[in-house]
A and B are shown apart, each in its own frame.
Chain A
Amino acid sequence: MAQHFLLVLLLPLIVSNTAHGTTTEAPTPSPAPMHTGHTMQHTMDHTGTHQPGMHHTGTHQPGMHHTGTHQPGMHHTGMDHTGTHQPGMHHTGMDHTGTHHGMGTHHPGMHHTGTHHPGMHHTGTHHHMGTHHPGMDHTGAHGDHSSTGHGSGHNTYFYFGHHEVVVLFLEWTINTVPALIGSCIGVFAIAMLYEGLKVWREMLIVRAADSSKAARSNSYSLNNITNGKSTSKLDVDIVPRAAEPSTRHRICNCMHALQSLLHIVQVLISYGLMLVFMTFNVWLCLSVALGAGAGYFAFGWRRPITVDRNEHCH
């Protein structure tokens, strides 16, 4: 059981490093034998090759992963499966989630003429791996596909990988282990800073309340001194608006404007962290969680008295 788990961890790294050479097709439980004695080659390079009417002569196999083949304007309508298209051919396991037709033109319900199979996953159809890993995403396994379009499709399960992980922006694409490590450290730092920002906002409110209280007490004493009255309990409670220093007003407004700006920043960072978590990459998710914990630990010492505010569920 332990080595199984270890294999799950190391296999993406191992597979990605080795070039995809000849992979003999394992007997798949399909009704019609498709590629008898055919050796499939995965060294498919789609870098920028805009091919309308792309031909998949003899290489279309169930289990083939198209993640990363992003070509703006790529059409599937002219796809030619010469020699391999057979009725009854299993398309289960074919994942086209990566094929985005053009950046920016988001079309839900986009058809892949005849090849769109909702709900397809790779569960158990990657036989050339040798070991059965249900639910494991092989986004990282086909490292030869260099993406030129959108991010690598939507995963719905956690995966260990470092190939073509797009984090928030297209420019932030992880392809190597050092990049993954750097991104994890960055995400960790952002999560820490987020906790720090929350504590800082509370501290600002405390400071504003203290300064306004001080200003108020100053105005009391000033008022009583100038009026020549002795300080009585009644005077302390009532605060005449005219006697208040105008600075208190200014402080309040400035403070609130600053708090609003910090609120925007806080919402921004919280949504950003949520989206990072949504990449479903285990390493990045762990970085978010651990960073939040470290930030809570580091900045929680300085947390002032609890402020009555709803801060969950942004």
Chain B
Amino acid sequence: MEGAEPQRRALRLDVISGEPSGGHGNMALNGAEVDDFSWEPPTEAETKVLQARRERQDRISRLMGDYLLRGYRMLGETCADCGTILLQDKQRKIYCVACQELDSDVDKDNPALNAQAALSQAREHQLASASEVPLGSRPAPQPPVPRPEHCEGAAAGLKAAQGPPPPAVPPNADVMACTQTALLQKLTWASAELGASTSLETSIQLCGLIRACAEALRSLQQLQH
């Protein structure tokens, strides 16, 4: 390594001075020590990474092209986080295509960040437990209306074995009341926010939240009866 260093530096000076290095076989980018033999084709993992990067870049270009056609302005600056060129809309708001559109594809599914995702997860659990209810009632030849506590208990047991407890199927009334209060609280908060909101997107999301809360409340009430 040490021996190669001074040689490389000397050759680098050659490039900077602008003398045509026609004698060297290669591009003379960094001297003669990088010849074609030291370049190996990328491995499969690297190819996948390259492919993913190219696809991401293609998506970014397409989105940027779309926005440019809609009248957005292409600025001369790049985003500090990801390095993509920034766009500016007619309201003079700066917009980064990669950060705000592409990368949030992943965040969309994270329940911690998105209320929609949280509700959909809850609904999935609810569906899963609803399918458990008939399962739980089969082994016990019960009167036509099985007692809720019995099968629910079985269901709860199964659920506990699987994973997090389903919040929409409470085994007793306390939890039900708790959930109902929480839902009502959320409803109140959402309606207050809706009244105060000025952006279209936020309003739409809040309406979705309210609808989901109302549905949850309805299913809760159905369970209670």
Say if A and B assemble together: no
Which residues of A pack against B, CB within 8 Å?
A: none
